[in-house]
Chains A and B, each alone.
Chain A
Amino acid sequence: MESFFRFFPELVNGLGLTLSLFVLTLVCSIPLGFLCSQAGLSKNKVGRGVYLAYVTIMRGTPLILQVCFLYFGINLLLTTLGVPADVFRLDRFVGAFIAFVLNYTAYFSEIFRGGIQSINRGQYEAASVLGLSKSLTMRKIVIPQVFKIVMPSIGNEVINLVKDTALVSLIAIEDLMMLAWSATNREASVMPLIVAMVFYLAINAVVTLVLRKIEKRMSYYRI
């Protein structure tokens, strides 16, 4: 019991860090994903090529590798360029955050691309004969429908993201996973791991509940 009061506050701190990485990544990568999907759908060959390369790399390599590569890679580059370590080095958390945003943006943009492509051509034609401009068609007709279509897939990624945040413990960021693991070693007990497990489950229970609510709110119509 004594040990519980030692590690529990640590884990709560770790939970805070895990949650902030989760929320920040989500808030940035969903809008960015939508913007990137436009490049993937554009008529511009260069735009499409860059998009394809980006998505292929981000989805084709492990997230943990991307986190390490970005964090160590950028700092190594700074060293090579002769920037003194006390002037500027990329913070661990910021490095992980950038890698997560880059990675999740790729997944979200593919989801949005699929969603946008699944909108019936007739919807665009109906909008165009009614005189709606391209941007109005996007705002009033396409996006609301795409949002409903992609919601289940987005939900999957959101739940994955909660668990993926645990990867940052590998670059010594003191997130929930990292602190639970070190407490387990220190206290020679699995209790910290069990508590961490409960925390992750609790986050995803809330996430699932919110996703259900959103899906329910959009169930008033069928496409």
Chain B
Amino acid sequence: MSILEVKKLNKSFGSTHILKDIDLSLEKGDTMAIIGPSGSGKSTLLRCINCLERAEKGTIILNGITIAEEKENGMEYLKDDELRMARLHLGMVFQNFNLFPHLTVLENLTLAPMNVDKKSQTEAEKTARELLAKVGLSDKSDSYPCELSGGQSQRVAIARALAMDPDILCFDEPTSALDPELTGEVLQVIKELAAEHMTMLIVTHEMGFAKEVASQVVFMDDGRITGRGTPEELLVNPKEERIRAFLNKLLSV
């Protein structure tokens, strides 16, 4: 059974139709890269799956729990508290990190486990330190986010998402806000997670990275999924003209 299933998802902002009948399913252990030109709806799709945006039509099933489905009078989401708990299966890493600036790195990692999962401080800190070691930032546990580089911030953000032990980790252009020389350290962490078969959904512009790390690639254009397959099928020898044009444009820069 799929760990995430999205059916006929539609989303508009005002009169702009952003997502058009999106179907998507993710198996446990998959790493899916979502690529496509800007404005094609990649980030909106991720934000709808995360319920940061509410879609208007369609169904979202996460870990067997229907968190949103289409009813006669529109889309019906779970009640606030149920939705909050169901969403914990999804971790999220933002483009702009969104670390909590008033908390230390360690506190950023322990806040949710202690307050939402009601873990003890000792337990939460133990997990947090393990995760910081995993992303190579053991020495930064007492630093504040303003003292970190972009790459370090993003690695902390990944560790913070992992601290809630999500089933799926979503990335919204995790390296877009970084200086080019800092993207490597973040991509390395994501690669390691992929090697451990962490289920991931990654919106990215890094084609080389998508090729290397993804088990599946989805190409979005103008609010629709217009191509899907393995990285080889989609990125090495794309059949669709639109994807070829998109890739050529990226390469010609």
Contacts and interface: CB of A to CB of B under 8 A. Distances in A.
A131 B81 CA distance: 9
A4 to B, nearest CB: 51
Contact of B52 (A123, A129, A221): A129
B180 to A, nearest CB: 23
Interface in A192-223: 220-223
Contacts of B101: 145, 221-223
Interface string A92-135: 00000000000000000000000000001011011011111100
Nearest to A134: B80
Contacts of A140: 111, 115
Nearest to B145: A221
Interface in B81-116: 81, 84-85, 87-88, 90-92, 94, 96, 98-102, 111-112, 115-116
A90 interface: no
B164 A130 contact: yes
A123 B112 contact: no
* Residue of A128, A130, A132, A148 with most chain B CB atoms under a 10 A cut-off: A130
B160 interface: yes
A79 B85 CA distance: 59
Interface residues of B, number: 27
A131 B87 contact: yes
Contact of A126 (B81, B90, B100, B146): B100
B228 to A, nearest CB: 25
A49 interface: no
A115 to B, nearest CB: 13
Contacts of A125: 52, 92, 94, 98
A122 B102 contact: no
A141 interface: yes
A160 B125 CA distance: 45
B98 A126 contact: yes
B98 A131 contact: no
Contacts of B111: 130, 132, 140
A120 B112 CA distance: 19
A73 interface: no
Interface string B142-177: 001110000000000000110010000000000000
A120 B94 CA distance: 13
Contact of A131 (B94, B102, B116): B116
A148 B101 CA distance: 11
Interface string B39-64: 00000000000101000000000000
A123 B116 CA distance: 16
A136 interface: yes
Given A221-B102, A221-B146, A133 B94 contact: no
Contacts of A144: 102
A222 B115 CA distance: 24
A125 B91 CA distance: 12
Interface of A: 120, 122-123, 125-126, 128-133, 136, 140-141, 144-145, 148, 220-223
22 contacts: A122-B94, A122-B98, A123-B100, A125-B52, A125-B94, A125-B98, A128-B87, A129-B87, A129-B91, A130-B111, A130-B112, A131-B87, A131-B112, A132-B115, A132-B116, A141-B100, A145-B101, A221-B101, A221-B102, A221-B144, A221-B146, A222-B144
9 closest residue pairs by CB, A with B: A126-B98, A130-B112, A122-B98, A129-B92, A222-B146, A131-B116, A221-B144, A131-B88, A144-B102
